[in-house]
Chain A
Amino acid sequence: GQNIDQPTEMTATEGAIVQINCTYQTSGFNGLFWYQQHAGEAPTFLSYNVLDGLEEKGRFSSFLSRSKGYSYLLLKELQMKDSASYLCAGRGASKIIFGSGTRLSIRP
């Protein structure tokens, strides 16, 4: 089957680091996305990993291990505006499958 699993909710402190994990099973694999979605808004693209390893983009980094079917999104120097849902999505052979999203709450 095809499935994306990620934690439902996480809480972290302003200024800290948080890692949001995602495991996936897709029929064929052609890449993994991370999106940020604030409540009531459209998703915003964060990253797309095709190859194993870590990709860094400012305060956000994304890691992929294809052999383990595993990815994570790392957010550093957390700010209050980072409170949002983070969506993991795997691109299979013929479609994209989204996870249910991880709702991240940042406390002062």
Chain B
Amino acid sequence: EPEVTQTPSHQVTQMGQEVILRCVPISNHLYFYWYRQILGQKVEFLVSFYNNEISEKSEIFDDQFSVERPDGSNFTLKIRSTKLEDSAMYFCASGLAGGYNEQFFGPGTRLTVL
């Protein structure tokens, strides 16, 4: 069964460094999303992406964040200058249909900022 994959599973970085989190959505999906979940807290929507552009983004998704689909398979989240509070689990999700219908989540990347 096709699934969303994410790499790395765990990323440790120093405050102020740039990180790129990678996701490979399910191959025929058209809608892509990033969420994050700080340990013990609720899931937070970051951004949705369709047709090579951002569809929606939350107030968390400020100028430090960017997303890209550099080729036909990868979907990346870049954090330019990481802060301690960026430490969280980052989930990528993809969907075939729009309107946030069924979304399939990847296993997540745990980001630790020291």
Binding site for B on A (CB under 8 A): 30-31, 33, 35, 37, 41-45, 48, 50, 87, 89, 91, 94-101
**Taking CB as reference atom, which chain B residue is nearest A94?**
B56
Q: How far is the CB of B55 from chain A (nearest CB, A)?
A: 9
Whether the Cβ atoms of B45 and A95 lie closer than 8 Å is: yes
Give A42 to B57 CA distance when docked, in angstroms: 20
Q: How far is the CB of A25 from chain B (nearest CB, A)?
A: 15
Q: Interface size bucket, B side?
A: 10 to 19
> Which of B42, B58, B100, B107 contacts A91, CB < 8 Å?
B100
Q: Which of B61-103 contact A (CB under 8 A)?
A: 91, 99-103
Whether the Cβ atoms of A42 and B105 lie closer than 8 Å is: yes
List the 6 closest pairs (A to B, CB-CB), nearest first.
Answer: A42-B105, A96-B45, A98-B43, A98-B42, A95-B58, A100-B42
Q: How far is the CB of A96 from chain B (nearest CB, A)?
A: 4
Q: How far is the CB of B70 from chain A (nearest CB, A)?
A: 23
Whether the Cβ atoms of B104 and A87 lie closer than 8 Å is: no
Give A89 to B100 CA distance when docked, in angstroms: 11
**Taking CB as reference atom, which chain B residue is nearest A91?**
B100
B106, CB-defined interface residue at 8 Å: yes
Whether the Cβ atoms of B105 and A44 lie closer than 8 Å is: yes
